[in-house]
Amino acid sequence: MNAPAHRALRLAVVALTLMLTGCRPLQNALLFHPAAVAGPVPAPPAGWRVDTIVLKRPGDVTLRGWLVLPPVSPARVVTYAGGNAEEVSWLVAYADRFGGRAVALLNYRSFGGSGGKPGEEALVGDAIALHDMLAARPDIAPGGIAAMGRSLGTGIAVALASKRPVDRVVLVSPYDSIEAVGAHHFPGAMVRALIADRYDAAALAPALTAPMLAVVAGADEVIPVERSRSLHDAWGGPKRWLELPRARHNDVPSNPAFWREIGAFLAG
C-alpha cells in the first residue's frame, strides 16, 4: 500500500472510531495516561507535615491528594496541576522548593486513587474546588494562593487564575491551546475532529494580571517552544520567560535552574 493510501486508511479508521465512540473517549485515551500511586508516599522535608486531602465532588466522585505544610502558620500555598501522565505524590518530598509555601497536590480523576473520568470542565472545576477549600483553612494565609501547572496542567492553572484570585502563576512547558499543539504533530482536520476539550489558555491570558513565570524546555519534543511563546506573549500581567536550552519535555525538573527560579518567584 502506498503512503497516500495508507494515510487515507488511517483517517478512515479514525473517522469510524469517532462515529462509534464519540470523540471524548478517544480524546481522553490520547490525552491522559492514568497512573497509580507507586509505593508509599514519600516523607516530607524535615519540619513539614502532610495532611491528606479528600475532596468530594458532584456525581459521587472523590478526589485524593496531599497538602504539605511548612513549619510556619499561616502559610501561603501553591496548587499544582500535573502532566497528563503524572501521579503527583512524588512532589511531597520536594515541598520545601516552592518558596516556603505549602504545596497542594491533588491527583486528577482516575489518577492515584481519585475517582471519576478526566475532562477539561471537570478538571477545572476540581481545581476551583481545591482553591476554595484552601481559602477556607485558617492555616492558609488570606490572598496567598498561587497556581502552578506543568504541561497539560498549565491550561488548568490558567483557567483557575481566570476564575479565582491567585497571587502568582507558574507554568512549566505551557501551551496556547491543545488544538495548536496537536496540529504541530497531526493533520489539523484530524485534531479538530478528535479534540473535544481545547484548553484554550491563550484566550484567557490577556485578561490575567497576576505575575507569571513561564519555564520552557528549549528542546521540548512534545510542546513546541513557539506554542509556549504564544501564551507568554498573550499574558496580560507581569511575566518572565525562563528557557532551559538543552532541556527536553520530561527532564526539565533535573535542571538546577528549575527549582532555583521557581522557588525565588513563588517567594517573591
Tell me the pTM. Answer: 0.88
Grid cell listed for 236: 496580560
Q: Are 114 and 123 in contact (CB under 8 A)?
A: no
Burial category of 249 from C-beta neighbours within 10 Å (exposed 0-12, middle 13-18, buried 19 and up): middle
Residue 13 pLDDT greater than 50, yes or no? no
How does pLDDT run across 29-75, given as a tens digit for each residue? 566 789 999 889 999 999 999 999 999 999 999 999 999 999 999 99
How does pLDDT run across 219-241, given as a tens digit for each residue? 999 999 999 999 999 999 999 99
> Angle at the Cα of 243 (from 240 to 244), degrees rounded to 5?
140
Residue 130 carries which side chain, given as an amino acid letter? L
Q: Residue 91 carries which DSSP code?
A: G
pLDDT of residue 30: 63
CA 221 to the chain's CA centroid: 17
